[in-house]
A and B are shown apart, each in its own frame.
Chain A
Amino acid sequence: AQKITQTQPGMFVQEKEAVTLDCTYDTSDQSYGLFWYKQPSSGEMIFLIYQGSYDEQNATEGRYSLNFQKARKSANLVISASQLGDSAMYFCAMREGPGLTGGGNKLTFGTGTQLKVEL
């Protein structure tokens, strides 16, 4: 079974509108971390936001917020007031475990959502 599922291969949003990118995850660990990365057409991976499994508040970073629903195992990214520069591929990723031993620092990625912001 996929550990990270992104069900939206592509999305369109109008400039200045908000958009939600979906991400669900599967893990039996109690301690884990959830990440969102942005990949523009130039190819680099840009870190956007992080949510720890024990964090009670949803993470926010500027126009980005992570809607963390632990019971539903979802970690949706919300981008408010979309800009043309937000057009990119977005990846949800998970680190299982606290990152102490073995492969615990491994990031498991979803298949990505291609976001296109239109005028």
Chain B
Amino acid sequence: EAQVTQNPRYLITVTGKKLTVTCSQNMNHEYMSWYRQDPGLGLRQIYYSMNVEVTDKGDVPEGYKVSRKEKRNFPLILESPSPNQTSLYFCASSPTLTGGNGYTFGSGTRLTVV
């Protein structure tokens, strides 16, 4: 089954403790991205990657890092999480040329930083 797998689904952590949210896709998609969803703000793009070793900032990159060492994996790293990073996070992938239903979203990771 074609899918984007995010782990963990839920995470509660403390301020300053480094964490990684994993994202893996099995569709050989070139493009992957991370979004965060906050009430009243919709989804906003954090980082994206056009292919292996090619990453760039989205609209809200502060406090996050990413890497793309393999085509299928695109982990999101919070080096020193803060409470304002409490949010619902989504990973998404698509082929480079896409339209319609070309985007596949993960199930989401609900992160709470206390």
Contacts and interface: CB of A to CB of B under 8 A. Distances in A.
Given A33-B99, A103-B48, A105-B48, A43 B107 contact: yes
Nearest to B99: A33
Interface of chain A, main secondary structure: mixed
Nearest to A39: B37
Contact of A43 (B41, B44, B88, B98): B88
Contacts of B58: 103, 106
A107 B108 contact: no
B84 interface: no
Given A43-B110, A107-B45, A109-B42, A102 B50 contact: yes
Interface residues of A, number: 27
B56 interface: yes
Interface of B: 31, 33, 35, 40-45, 48, 50, 56, 58, 88, 90, 92, 94, 96-103, 105, 107-108, 110
A111 interface: yes
Interface of A: 4, 9, 33, 35, 43-45, 47, 50, 52, 91, 93, 95, 98-103, 105-112
Contacts of B50: 101-102, 105
Contacts of A95: 98-99
Contact of B98 (A93, A99, A112): A99
A101 B54 CA distance: 12
Contacts of B110: 43
A104 to B, nearest CB: 8
